[in-house]
Structure 1
Amino acid sequence: MVFPTGEQYEINAGSYSAVITEVGARLRSFTLEGAELLATHGPDQAPKGWEGAHLFPWPNRLRDGRYLLGGQEFQLPINEPARNNANHGLNVGLAWNLLAHLGDSVRQRVILWPRRGWPRILAVEILHQLNAEGLRVEITATNLGTTPVPWGYGAHPYFRFEDIANVKLTVPFDAELAVDPERRLPIRLGPIAPAHDFTRPRAIGETILDATFTDPLTRDWTVSLNGDDRTIEVWGEATTQWVQVFTAPRRDSIAVEPMTCGPDAFNEGPTYRDRVMLRPGGSANAVWGVRARGRVQ
């Protein structure tokens, strides 16, 4: 049988199991003691949205799908027509090559070849690894071309709960990106809006979140979700100094999205400083992960 997301690579360690897909290298399943922690889809289904996706060579939105590179303007396909943005990169539908599949880890690689709006060649390698503490993900991008190329990355795991209103959320960041409410594009970086302030744990309640946070000190961080008799912690190293937190409209899941840069980082503005320019032969990596425990603390 051929699955919509290709081969399904299962890994196990301690009380954890995970399934990574061939297409998109998605994190399709992540379980603790057999209980699914993700809002996801079955192996015989196509993804419903961005659940479990890896977003590159940019995360989030690019204004009008345009950016400058080497003094030349490039136009990417618009996949968010209502807001006229290019959203979440070019990894949709890419089949990744399997480099290694061990009992507790999967390593995959893909080459992003030139295409409309993207003139460069990138090799991207990803490692999903489980241990007794949880999941660790490391992604590395290498410029195979002869001229510099911009790079950004984000991950998009959704964590499911019976009702996120009862989930206690902790987001330990110092700044929030104010965005245009119509197009969700950056305006300025500043203090966290009171309604979005979860620096100390509190219940989500009726709060609607589609908010981007960062820490100018680029320290390691942990976002905590505490509900349904379990605690889920999404963590990142300084390589992922941005996080998007999104409450699903059905109020049954919440996305915690580690990112190397904020929205529209390829263009001049408040997020531009964190886009990476990869020189020919140069590489950049990002590390993040998830751990969970079965009793609310």
Structure 2
Amino acid sequence: MTPPGTRPSTPPAPFPTGAQYEITAGEVSAVVCEIGATLRTLTVGDHHLVHGFGADEVIDKACRGQQLLPWPNRIRDGRWTWQDVEQQLPLSEPERGTAIHGLVRWVAWDLVDHGLDQVTQRLVLRPQHGWPGTLEITLTHRVDRTGLTVELLVTNPSEVDVPFGYGVHPYLSVGEDRIDEVELQLPAGAYLTVDDRLLPISVEPVDADHDLRTPRLVDDLSLDTAFTQLESEAGRWEVRLRKGERHTTLWADDVFGWLQVFTGEPTRQWGLAVEPMTCGPDAFNPGPTHDDLIVLRPRGRFAGSWGITGA
């Protein structure tokens, strides 16, 4: 019997990633998870537009479909300084001695609304070890007959400035067995050179290996690379993948000034990770990516959107 004044508890979802929120419109269907607001699947008919994973699986190191907040990519040694106070984050990538991909990937997000074609989730990120700020994050996944749109709103409910960055980690698919078969086009005029820990050295104009503004086969090209100077049209840029009659496009608003592309080493079978980011690696520290760090003033807000289409 439930004690007076209390509500019966809801049993937790039986899946490793919590509740599964399916959304559909015509032939387009997606599943978003309670844990991490993770995009688990996206299909058009029988075609998978992302390399997802099963409802009974735990998300692996590949970070498939995960949301990356309050920073994408890496922070050197997990160490950064904010308002003259040194912060030390746990080293979530110990092999490189970095803090990687934020703090919200394994957290249960609250459900705000779930309809036939959209799901909205919310998370309040509170201060914790190495992270001094409060952010309220609202994320909506919406499908229509053309594909998926994801809308992000981040607000600062506190009375102090809070820095942050955002990224997302889908692996796109055009039905390939290996990404060598995929034709890739992306709109970047510059890329980030990095050291052996994949931490920033300098931003350089794209060279022969990194100039993908004209479509070309991935072939043996190996990338785990941040690109910038993204050429946009009508306020957004696009990355296009093609194999035969299949095609998949990721688009993002101009507020995403960076793009990480990863060829899925060593197997090259997870698809091509195409990650829109508001800032580059190690943006919390002085260096070539620092200027793109977002700082939200008290009661400030940031909005952006990205999406995936294909057939």
* TM-score (normalizing by structure 1): 0.95
Deviations 1:50-69 (A, max 9, x none): 00000000000001111111
Residue of structure 2 equivalent to 1:235: 251
Q: Which residue is equivalent to 1:75?
A: 88
Q: Which amino acid aligns with 1:237?
A: D
Same amino acid, percent of matched pairs: 44
Q: Deviations over 1:88-115 (max 9, x none)?
A: 0001221111111111100100111111
Give the alignment partner of residue 170 of structure 1, picking from 185, 189, 193: 185
Any idea what SS the aligned residue of 1:194 has?
coil
TM-score scaled by structure 2? 0.91
One-letter code of the match for 1:171?
A: L
> Does the CA-based 8 Å contact 1:260-1:286 persist in structure 2?
no
> Could you tell me how far 1:159 is from its partner in structure 2?
2.0
Q: Does the aligned pair in 2 maintain the 1:20–1:27 contact within 8 Å?
A: yes
The alpha-carbon deviation at position 87 of structure 1 amounts to 0.4
Q: Distance in 2 between matches of 1:44 and 1:222?
A: 32
2-structure distance, mates of 1:61, 1:224: 26
**Partner amino acid, structure 2, of 1:78:** L
Aligned to 1:36: 48
Greater gyration radius: 2
* 2:8 match: none
Measure, in 1, the Cα distance between the counterparts of 2:19 and 2:95.
33
Residue 15 of structure 1 deviates from its aligned partner by 1.7
Task: Specify which of 19, 22, 39 is matched with residue 10 of structure 1.
Answer: 22
Q: Secondary structure of 1:196's match?
A: coil
Residue of structure 1 in register with 2:287 after alignment: 269
Paired amino acid for 1:140: L
Residue of structure 2 equivalent to 1:251: 268
Q: 1:189: which partner in 2?
A: 203
The CA deviation at 1:287 is 1.0
- Structure 2 SS opposite 1:174: strand
1:206 has 2:220 as partner = yes
SS in 2 for 1:165: helix
Aligned residue pairs: how many?
A: 292
Q: Which amino acid aligns with 2:105?
A: V
Partners of 1:82 and 1:178 in 2: CA distance = 20
Deviations 1:177-214 (A, max 9, x none): 1111x110111111113112211000000111111111
Greater mean alpha carbon deviation, residues 48-57 or residues 219-228 = 219-228
State the match for 2:35 in structure 1.
23
Q: What letter is aligned with 1:236?
A: A
| 1:98 aligns to 2:111 (yes or no) | yes
Partner of 1:109: 122
Q: Which runs of 5+ in 1 are unaligned?
A: none
The corresponding residue for 1:53 is: 66
Whole-Å separation in 2 of the counterparts to 1:173 and 1:92: 27
**1:124-163 counterparts in 2 under 5 A?**
124-160=137-173, 161-163=176-178
Please tell me the residue identity of whatever aligns with 2:310. A
Task: Return the alpha-carbon distance in structure 1 between the equivalents of residues 262 and 99 of structure 2.
Answer: 19
Report deviation, 1:39: 1.8
2:118/2:142 contact within 8 Å kept: yes
Does 1:85 pair with 2:101?
no
CA deviation map 1:2-58 (0-9, x unaligned): 111110000011221000000100000000113323222110111112000000000
- The CA distance in 1 between the partners of 2:44 and 2:145, in whole Å, is 11
**Partners of 2:35 and 2:109 within 8 A in 1:** yes
- 1:118 is aligned to 2:92: no
d(CA) in 1 for partners of 2:206, 2:237: 17
